[in-house]
Amino acid sequence: MPLTASTAYTIVSGLTIVAVGISAAGFFRPPAAILESMADVDVAESWLPMLGTMKAAGALGLLIGIVLPAPRIGTAAAIGLVVYFVGACLVHLRAGDYAVSGQHVYLLLAVGTLVLDLLA
């Protein structure tokens, strides 16, 4: 059975949902590593619940786009996640953090999801 764009989209979107969902949950009860990372890039701890909510909304939107007959919701969610993680990368760059880390992986997943969504 050949791998179609639709199947690839579902697989990559599922990975993105899980990864971003776990990351979002971490922002509601952040461990010391997340608090330290956010402090290093000058993101206030008070922003974490809002940032976690945005991630969770993106993951939920992707899920809705797969499960319900509303694929444009999934497209909008993928666009939102790409914008979110581009912003996260820019915040890290602005703070002088040039290391490849979590936000880059999430950005690649979000871009992959968006591209496959548009191809499917």
Q: For position 3, what pLDDT does the model report? A: 85
Query: Tokens representing 6?
Result: 């639709």
Measured on CA atoms in the order 60, 66, 113, 99, is the torsion positive or negative? positive
Give the pLDDT of the chain (120 residues) as one tens digit per residue.
Answer: 688 889 999 999 999 999 999 999 999 999 999 999 999 999 999 999 999 999 999 999 999 999 998 889 999 999 999 999 999 999 999 999 999 999 999 999 999 999 999 998
Q: For position 88, what pLDDT does the model report? A: 96
List helix spans (H) across 68-101. 71-94
- Which residues have a Cβ under 8 Å from the Cβ of 76 and sit 6 or more positions away? 61
Record the pTM. 0.94
Query: Tokens representing 62?
Result: 């992707």
| Residues 55 and 24: beta-carbon distance below 8 Å | yes
